[in-house]
Amino acid sequence: MNRTKIIVAIVLLLLGALFIVTTFYRGDKKSKGATLPPGTHGVCVTEVIQTSNYTYLQVQENESKFWIAVVRTESKPGDSVYYSKDYEMKDFVSKELGRTFPSVFFVQDATSTLTPANKPMTQPATPQKVEIKRWAEVSVTPPKGGITIADLYKNPGNFGGKNIIIRGVVVRFNAQIMNKNWVHIQDGTDFSEKFDLTITTKDSLAVGSTATFSGVVELNKDFGSGYKYDVIVEQAKASDIK
C-alpha cells in the first residue's frame, strides 16, 4: 500500500471513529431526556431573584424561557430544577419587588435532583411543619360578617366548633396531603406574634392570591406524627379569589 492510500485509510478511520462518538453522545443526551416521567419538567436556571419568602427563577426549557417561583432556596444560574406540580398566575404583582410578572408558575415540588426512580421528590405524608415568616405589606380588609386572624387568636375559645369567615393572602400551599389541601394565610394582623393561620380545603389556590374562606374552627387538633395545631380552620371553602 502506497503512502497516499495509507493516509486515506487513516483519515477514513478517524472520521468513522468521530461519527461513532458523536452518535453515542447524541443518543446519550436523548436517553437522559427520555428518563423524565410524563408531566415532569426539567429546566435550567438563567436568572435568580430572592425575596424574603420566595425565590423567583427565570428558567429555560427547550427553547422556552419563563419564570417560576419556589419556596426560598439558594439557587444560581446554571442549576437544574425538576418539578411536576405548578400553578400559573398571570399578571402577578410582587409588592416586595415592586414588579409585575406577565406570567409566573408557582411550583410546589421543586427539586435539584431526581430520585433513583427518576421521579421528583413527592410531598410528605403529613403537612410540613415549617417556620412561616411574616409577609411584608400584607393588609387585608375583613369580609362582611368575618373576623381577622388577630380576633381568632385573641379569643379562640369563642370560635371553637363554629363556622367563621376570614380573608387573607395565601403565603403557602401544599396540595393533596391526607386527601386535602393545606393553606397558610396572613391578613396583616396578629395577636401575641401569632400572624399565620392554617386552613384545610379541597380548593386549589396560588401563593400570592387573596381569598375569603368559610370553614369550621378546630382547637387542639392532633393529626399524629407530632402535627398538632392549637387553632386550625377545617373543611373551608374559598371564594372571591383575586
Contact 129, 155 (CB under 8 A): no
The model's pTM: 0.55
Q: What is the pLDDT of residue 84?
A: 84
| Contacts of 114 by beta carbon, 8 Å cutoff, 6+ apart | 35, 36, 82, 120
CATH number, span 149-239:
2.40.50.140
Nearest to 102 by CA among 60, 67, 55: 67
Residue located via cell numbers 386535602: 180
Contact 140, 210 (CB under 8 A): yes
Burial of 9 (0-12, 13-18, 19+ CB in 10 A): exposed
Domain boundaries, the chain: 41-107, 149-239
Burial of 114 (0-12, 13-18, 19+ CB in 10 A): middle
Per-residue pLDDT tens over the stretch 30-39: 333 446 777 8
Q: What is the pLDDT of residue 225?
A: 57
Q: What is the pLDDT of residue 27?
A: 35
Taking 70 as the pLDDT cut, the residues of the chain under it are: 1-35, 114-130, 225-226
